[in-house]
A = this chain, B = another copy of it.
Amino acid sequence: MVVPSELEKAMEIFLMCFHKYSGDKEYLTKGDLQKLMENEFPEFLKNQNDPLAVDKIMKDLDQCRDGRVNFHSYFSLLAGLTIACNDYYTRHMIPNKK
Chain A residues within 8 Å of B, Cβ to Cβ: 2, 5-15, 17-19, 24-26, 39-43, 71-72, 75, 78-79, 81-83, 85-86, 89-90, 94, 96-98
Contacts and interface: CB of A to CB of B under 8 A. Distances in A.
A41 to B, nearest CB: 7
A41 B10 contact: no
Contacts of A71: 83, 86
Given A10-B11, A15-B86, A25-B97, 16 more contacts: A5-B39, A6-B40, A7-B17, A9-B10, A10-B13, A10-B14, A11-B82, A12-B85, A15-B82, A19-B94, A24-B94, A24-B96, A25-B98, A26-B90, A71-B86, A75-B79
